Structure formats: structure tokens, C-alpha cells
Amino acid sequence: MKTVALPSGEKVPAFGMGAWNIGDSKATRAEEIATLRLGLDLGAKLIDTAEMYGDGRSEELVGEAIAGRRDEAFLVSKVLPENASRKGTLEACERSLERLRTDRIDLYLLHWRGSVPFAETIEAFEALKKAGKIRHYGVSNLDLADMKEWWKLKDGAKCAANQLLYNLTRRGIEFDLLPWLRERKVPVMAYSPIEQARLLRDRKLGDFAKRHGRKPAQAALAWLLSRDGVIVIPKTGRRERLKENLGALERPLDAAQLAELDRIFPPPASPQPLDML
């Protein structure tokens, strides 16, 4: 399994499992749990969730899936901006820990910017880290101006990741934000790497994938996996889809294929507003 180094030097899998919108249906619950457990078996040990997903149901499902296997998983969760005050962050983290059935979260993120000052959230993250409730902390959906503001604050440079919308059709971060993060060795966690399945229906990507003997999802994920310092977290709810997605690791794209994708899905030529879903 390819890995990406956090600023601390710890290496985490470059391929993880997103848990957005899982745990919402009793009909699919058993398959979703089996999928997460299979991911652990196959080395996709990073699992991304958040208190917002299903009002905590996603965290509860993840907790059930990793029961008895907690030490195999690298858990990522997020605090909502309206909960990101010092007191609110501490309380939100306790609720997430309870739902996840664990004593620690490996990476805890601010889900997006809200009205609470960054300094207050960082102070809470530091308190949680010192208490052993979280191991690393970072952010999600912060643009370059936000990151510069965060970075200047006390302990702001301890940011371990920025989780961002990034895929072949959402390349805006490559102009300025991604280079800035790379200079500081802050990984990007790419969410919605196949654009909520819309890329699977993209004719241009479909033609590319067919010519190169792979599935469209595999081509889109392999492109992200070719980027330095990028962790890809496709939503995972079915075992067969998980195995198909993991095929992206088995056949990396070569330089000619990457150049072809650049022609089909050009990188940005100027600064872009931050994309979010």
C-alpha cells in the first residue's frame, strides 16, 4: 500500500475509505460494515468520518466495524464549525469518541471555517492532544487565505492535513493552495475523488479508461494517487466497489497517460475560488 507522510513523519495509507452517507439505512448496514472490515484486511486502514455525517450515524457504524480491530485503523473525524469553540470542541470530541467506541481519534479536523476564531479551535485541539484524546489535528475546506491565517497562529503550524475537494474536474487547488501546502509538507486528503460518481459517467474519462484497459474510477483514483502528498478517500459502501477502486493501486498511470489526462482535464491557469461540496 502506498503511503503519505504526515508532518510528524508518521506514514499513513494513501488510499483510505470515506464514510460519508453510510450508516443511514438499515438495509445496507451489514454490507457497509463488511466493506470497512474488508478495507482493513486489504490495507486501506485510513477511515474518514465526521460528526455531521448522518448526525453521528456514520461514526457509530465505523465504531461497530472496527470493534476488536481499533489498532489496525487510522481514524479521521471532524468537528462542525458551530461546535468549534474551546468548550464545544472538547464536548464534540467526547461524543465522537463514544460513537466510535474508542479512546482516541488519530486525526481530528475542523470541518470548514465558521464564526469561531481559529485560535480558539487550535487551543481546544492542543488540549485534546495533550489529554491523549486525539493524536494529530488539521483542517478541511480551508483556502489559501484561511491557511495562511491558521498557520500564523500559535500551534497553527502543527496542522497535519487539509481535506479538500480534489479530482480531475476540480483542480483549482493546484494553482496556489496545493504548492503552498507541499512546501510545508502538509498532505491533502482528496474527498469526492470521483465527484460523487459523476466522473463515472464522464464520456471523456470513459473513453480514456477504455483505451487503457481500466475502469473510469480506477483511472480517476490512479491520477490522484500519482500526486505527491495526496491521500484519496473514496466513499466506500460495497465490497465489490472497494475491490474495484483498490485496482487503481495495482496499475499506476505512466507519464504519457498522465499527460493525456492533463490535456483532457487541464490544470488551472489562474487562481480559483475553493470548491466545496
Q: Kindly list the catalytic residues.
A: 53
Distances (CA, A) of 219 to 41, 164, 167, 190: 23, 19, 11, 15
SS3 18: strand
Phi, psi of 98 (to 5 degrees): -65, -45
CA-only gyration radius of the chain, Å: 18
Distance CA 222, CA 191 (A): 14
* Nearest CA-CA partner of 77 in 192, 56, 215, 69: 56
Residue 198, CB half-sphere, CA atoms under 13 Å: how many? 7
Distance CA 165, CA 160 (A): 17
* Residues sharing a CB contact under 8 Å with residue 33, sequence separation 6 or more, in sequence order: 61, 64, 65
Question: Which DSSP string do the residues of 121-188 spell out, in sequence order?
Answer: HHHHHHHHHHTTSEEEEEEES--HHHHHHHHHSTTGGG---EEEE-BTTB-GGGTTHHHHHHHTT--E
Residue 83, CB half-sphere, CA atoms under 13 Å: how many? 18
274 near 143, Cβ under 8 Å? yes
- Number of other CB atoms surrounding residue 4 within 10 Å: 23
